[in-house]
Amino acid sequence: MTQPADPLVEGEAESIPDRATQSIAEQAAQSIPDRHVQLRAAGVSLIVHIPEVGLPAFMHWGSDPGPLDRQQLEQLALAEGAPPAANGVDEPRAVSIMPEPWTGWTGAPGLDGHRAWRGWSPRFTVTSATSVNPVPGDGARGGTLELEARDDVAELQLDLHIELTPTGLVVMQAHVTNLGADPYTLGSVSLGLPVPTRADELLDLAGRWAKERVPQRRPFAVGTHLREGRRGRTGSDAATVLVAGEQSFGFDRGEAWGMHVAFSGNHQVRAERVASGERILLGGELLLPGEVELARGERYSTPRVFGTHGVGLDALAGRFHDHLRSRPHHPGRDRPVVMNVWEAVYFTHDLDRITALADAAAQVGVERFVLDDGWFGGRRDDTAGLGDWTISDVVWGDGRFRRLVDHVAALGMEFGLWFEPEMVNEDSDLARAHPEWLMQVDGRLPVESRFQQVLDLSHPGAFEHVRSQIVALVRDYDIGFIKWDHNRDLVDAGSTRTGRAGVHEQTLAVYRLLDEIKRQCPGLEIESCSSGGSRVDLEILERTDRVWASDTIDAHERQQIQRWTAQLLPPELVGSHVGSQRSHTTGRMLDLSFRAATALFGHFGIEWDLTAATDAERAELAAWVRYYKQLRGLLHTGTVVRRDLEGGDLWLNGVISTDRAEALYLVTVRERHITWPVGRVLLPGLDPDRSYRVTAGGPSAFRAASNHWADPAWWRDGVTLPGSVLVGVGIAIPAQDPDHAALIHVAALR
Ligand code: DGJ
């Protein structure tokens, strides 16, 4: 299994290998017996060609043709090499995974850098290659290929890690080492995944605050589709997964290839189609001027770049889900029902009020109670206090904080606490004591955002300040969960320590801080939140246990946000709360059944002032909590399916257990359809050879209340049908207004 990027360290001095006595070609001849390597896993084949000069290229990344022996691989190399392009270079080469301009490649270079303006067009040769588990070993389990390449003229070494995980994901990472005496300035290092010419359409995600991960599509035209993240965080508008696929590819159809850059700082992904026919997805970190300058022996590591292939977007997502679930540190225990107090109290912290909320939470079955922003320093609103991570005397003094923590524990709930560790208000003791720890450019502070500035964690003192304050609180109060927030873009994020742009170092420092806190607080779970869902990527998830997908709890919006967050993350990693009837962010009024059914398809929680809810509402909510607890085993391990029905007016989301014995589907009307009732709905993912009992889902006492104005005949007492009928013929669903839920539960007969 791939390891989290070890930790993308700039400035790691290493001894430089002395190979002066051996030419690059001699070394290569000795250490690379096989120039074609095939890795296979979960229906995917990755076939890599290591040329005698230049960097490796993928001969094939896609569906698995079965194991190929050396002779067959050589024949394939002959068969698939394109003829020279008209008016192109005389010796055409397959575009490599880090495309090099010297080969005649006219797209963006994989490595952009120079040594005082020389060494700007490296020409690498692979000097060693080690593969683990290539075909014909145990071919179904994936494997790795570690390559070392050098350019003795540019005086650079490149180490490449190429992996096919057991779940069929490609993972690539590159490390660039300066072998020369003078510094080497890096502009960018991108890794590329080639896609075939039948990948005619592109899809990626966009978005904004409270409306994250909105899909956008376009033809894969000649030129570059470039998505840059320059916010110093992953971003609410991040591409997240850039997909190229066959025309009209959808959740269940069309071959497709996707890329994700696992990084929480500045980054870029691009889809490039050049005149000579190649199409490639490229991704890496976006470096600001001067951020990475390698002294002799220093090494820069790229983020990990992931590739996912399959037929349909669900298959692409499924590979990420399977991969995440296979990690040893994937949250193993049942995902506890959360109560977060933010939308219930905002900054109005008061022991009696919050204690009453805890009582109400415990009554409906909450298992984790989270105190949000407002408990520390001078934080009475959002203008002050960030950076001072000690309990506020004003609201929580005289032992009141301890009383709350003890009360929550006595109610049988775990206690969670909010932090925003990378941020500082200018009105804080920390900023007054250490103005030099605020990120800035040439003595000029950045423009404020939410009245806050960014704390430069690359200063050892700043790092230590935050680390020690957080660890002390976690230990003193037995805190089981941290909501780790990050509420502004990094604008003009320079470091007073180096005088240079500091986003790269800040991002690595955040990873170190999270790693350190996790190490010192065993069992602590952390949520990645950033103005809602602005930090959702696979590198932050190596150190955190769920994401807060959005600041909008409006279930209509959440349906879309969760549907597309699922392109990367399985439901158990995506916090999803039941809010109040009127959404605080959109003003939309939604029934409890729809709000709760939407939250079911994530890590379920509540963010609502239950002390103001009616008894009937609390009783219904408690029933939904019981239902979630009953089904979370299925929802948090099963296969996710998504479908657009009736021209997109009807959405189906479902989770099917891996043994296909049980499933839960949610059908919602997004828009009132032009004809009514809608047609039969197919239930994907079931075993055609089994018989299933199909019943209306949701807590039984509240099924009738879900605003169906006409139900099909089977709705009351259920129906028993073969899987082949459910997947191929379909069933009728209740006629319902938009933004109401029809849950369908399916269980195999023994
Ligand atoms: C932004 C988060 O997304 C909210 O849930 C809340 O924690 C606020 N910050 C607190 O300031």
Cα 485 to ligand 1 centroid, rounded to whole Å: 7
Cα 525 versus chain centre, distance: 17
Examine the fold and report which residue of 282, 297, 325 is the final residue of a domain before the chain moves on. Answer: 325
Cα 531 to ligand 1 centroid, rounded to whole Å: 6
Q: What is the CATH number of the domain that holds 717?
A: 2.60.40.1180
Q: Is residue 314 domain-resident?
A: yes
By alpha-carbon position, which residue is closest to atom 11 of ligand 1? 373
Q: What is the mean pLDDT of the chain?
A: 94
Retrieve residue 246's tokens: 């066959």
Give the pLDDT score at 213.
98
Retrieve residue 500's tokens: 């240079």
Overall domain count for the chain = 2
Retrieve residue 485's tokens: 């927030």
Over residues 280-295, mean pLDDT: 98
Q: Is residue 152 domain-resident?
A: yes
Cα 354 to ligand 1 centroid, rounded to whole Å: 17
By alpha-carbon position, which residue is closest to atom 10 of ligand 1? 373
* Ligand 1 atom with minimal separation from the 551 CA: 3
- Reference 667, options 727, 598, 747; nearest CA is 598
Give the confidence band of 27 by pLDDT, cuts at 50, 70, 90. low
Distance separating alpha carbons of residues 192 and 44, to the nearest angstrom: 18
484 beta partners: 419, 528
Q: What is the CATH number of the domain that holds 200?
A: 2.70.98.60
Of 380, 382, 485, which is best to mutate to test ligand 1, by the most ligand atoms within 8 angstroms of its C-beta?
Answer: 485
pLDDT one-digit tens code per residue, 186-237: 999 999 999 999 999 999 999 999 999 999 999 999 999 999 999 999 999 9
The domain in which residue 275 lies consists of 24-325
Q: Is residue 542 domain-resident?
A: no
Q: Which amino acids bring their CB within 6 angstroms of ligand 1?
A: 342, 372-373, 418, 485, 487, 529, 531-532, 548, 551
Cα 348 to ligand 1 centroid, rounded to whole Å: 14
* List of residues 6+ apart from 74 with CB closer than 8 A: 36
pLDDT one-digit tens code per residue, 737-747: 899 889 999 99
pLDDT one-digit tens code per residue, 470-494: 999 999 999 999 999 999 999 999 9
Burial class (CB in 10 A: 0-12, 13-18, 19+), 618: middle
Distance separating alpha carbons of residues 192 and 172, to the nearest angstrom: 9
* Ligand 1 atom with minimal separation from the 483 CA: 7
Of 208, 233, 339, 342, which is best to mutate to test ligand 1, by the most ligand atoms within 8 angstroms of its C-beta?
Answer: 342
- Within 10 A of 533 (CB to CB), how many other CB atoms are there? 29
Comparing 189 with 31, the larger pLDDT belongs to 189
Q: Is residue 581 domain-resident?
A: no
Contact 372, 342 (CB under 8 A): yes
pLDDT one-digit tens code per residue, 703-716: 655 667 788 999 99
Over residues 615-630, mean pLDDT: 97
Cα 8 to ligand 1 centroid, rounded to whole Å: 29
Q: Is residue 309 domain-resident?
A: yes
* Ligand 1 atom with minimal separation from the 340 CA: 5
Catalytic residue annotation? 485, 551
Distance separating alpha carbons of residues 158 and 98, to the nearest angstrom: 10
Examine the fold and report which residue of 283, 300, 325 is the final residue of a domain before the chain moves on. Answer: 325
Give the pLDDT score at 702.
74
H/E stretch holding 726 reads: helix 723-728
Cα 533 to ligand 1 centroid, rounded to whole Å: 10
Q: Is residue 110 domain-resident?
A: yes
Of 425, 551, 553, 554, which is best to mutate to test ligand 1, by the most ligand atoms within 8 angstroms of its C-beta?
Answer: 551
Retrieve residue 302's tokens: 């790229």
Contact 81, 94 (CB under 8 A): yes
By alpha-carbon position, which residue is closest to atom 8 of ligand 1? 373
- Within 10 A of 654 (CB to CB), how many other CB atoms are there? 24
Give the pLDDT score at 710.
85
Cα 653 to ligand 1 centroid, rounded to whole Å: 27
- Reference 201, options 245, 257, 240, 251; nearest CA is 245
Contact 255, 265 (CB under 8 A): no
Give the confidence band of 139 by pLDDT, cuts at 50, 70, 90. low
Contact 64, 78 (CB under 8 A): no
Please tell me the pTM assigned to this model: 0.96
Of 233, 341, 373, which is best to mutate to test ligand 1, by the most ligand atoms within 8 angstroms of its C-beta?
Answer: 373
Give the pLDDT score at 3.
40
pLDDT one-digit tens code per residue, 669-705: 999 999 988 899 999 999 999 999 999 999 987 765 5
Examine the fold and report which residue of 291, 325, 359 is the final residue of a domain before the chain moves on. Answer: 325
Of 345, 376, 548, which is best to mutate to test ligand 1, by the most ligand atoms within 8 angstroms of its C-beta?
Answer: 548
Q: State the virtual CA torsion across 64, 66, 71, 76 in degrees, nearest 10.
A: -30
Cα 423 to ligand 1 centroid, rounded to whole Å: 13
By alpha-carbon position, which residue is closest to atom 9 of ligand 1? 531
By alpha-carbon position, which residue is closest to atom 1 of ligand 1? 531
Cα 516 to ligand 1 centroid, rounded to whole Å: 24
* List of residues 6+ apart from 648 with CB closer than 8 A: 670, 671
Q: Is residue 686 domain-resident?
A: yes
pLDDT one-digit tens code per residue, 303-354: 999 999 999 999 999 999 999 999 999 999 999 999 999 999 999 999 999 9
* Ligand 1 atom with minimal separation from the 607 CA: 5
Cα 487 to ligand 1 centroid, rounded to whole Å: 8
Contact 631, 649 (CB under 8 A): no
Residue with tokens 């995944």: 193
Q: How far apart are the first and last CA of the chain?
A: 36
Give the pLDDT score at 23.
67
* Ligand 1 atom with minimal separation from the 529 CA: 3
Cα 216 to ligand 1 centroid, rounded to whole Å: 27
Over residues 521-531, mean pLDDT: 98
- Within 10 A of 572 (CB to CB), how many other CB atoms are there? 22
* List of residues 6+ apart from 605 with CB closer than 8 A: 337, 338, 339, 340, 368, 575, 576, 577, 578, 599
Give the pLDDT score at 700.
82
- Indicate the length of the chain as a whole number: 750
- Reference 481, options 492, 490, 470; nearest CA is 470
pLDDT one-digit tens code per residue, 43-101: 999 999 999 999 999 999 999 999 999 999 999 999 998 888 888 899 888 999 999 99
Q: Is residue 347 domain-resident?
A: no
